[in-house]
Amino acid sequence: MDFDHSGTITLDELQYALKQQGSWLVESEVQALLDAADIDHDGTIDYDEFIAATMHFCQLEKEEHLLKAFHSFDHDNNGYITKEELEKAIQVIGLDTTEDGSAEDIIKVADEDNDGVIDYKEFQTMMRRTSSQASRASKSEGVPSPLPSPSRTEQNGTGFGKR
């Protein structure tokens, strides 16, 4: 993003880079982004500031994707994903349930308060777990994997103590 290799990113460079990524923020928004990232207020973003800002920005994008994904599962928009809705989604995605687990398995893993449906909070937790697994396996980069492999969750400390 640092096109003149000055070691810092200026407003122009940031604006250009964002456009390259298909992000069409208006100048005032880019300025706000720069201000937010420019921790030492020298008007440019240096490497450390850039890393911090990028991570923050990715987090926001992820939240947005997550919400969109949740809504695409939640057909009747009541804020919960039921087993029926999940089954429908699995069909649409064309997921192999023998390998990735059935809707029932997925709900069992994701349903932390055991009310039989997945609310947004549970969905978030489930996706976080999935994406950290996916990034470790480093396949399907950039494509948010909509469903986890619940039977092979190796991490602990997620509230599921059973083995």
List of residues contacting Ca ion (CB under 5 A): 38, 40, 42, 74, 76, 78, 80, 111, 113, 115
In the complex, minimum distance from the CB of residue 138 to Ca ion, in angstroms, rounded to a whole number? 31
Q: Which is nearer to Ca ion, 41 or 136 (CB)?
A: 41
Q: Which is nearer to Ca ion, 84 or 135 (CB)?
A: 84
The closest alpha carbon to 17, from 4, 3, 27, 35, belongs to 3
94 contact partners, CB below 8 Å, separation of at least 6: none
CA distances from 6 to 19, 33, 124 (A): 20, 20, 39
In the complex, minimum distance from the CB of residue 89 to Ca ion, in angstroms, rounded to a whole number? 11
Q: Which is nearer to Ca ion, 104 or 135 (CB)?
A: 104
In the complex, minimum distance from the CB of residue 13 to Ca ion, in angstroms, rounded to a whole number? 13
Q: Which is nearer to Ca ion, 80 or 130 (CB)?
A: 80
In the complex, minimum distance from the CB of residue 148 to Ca ion, in angstroms, rounded to a whole number? 15
Phi-psi region of 41 (alpha: psi -120 to 50; beta: other; left: phi over 0): left
Chain centroid to CA 153: 18
What is residue 64's three-state secondary structure? helix
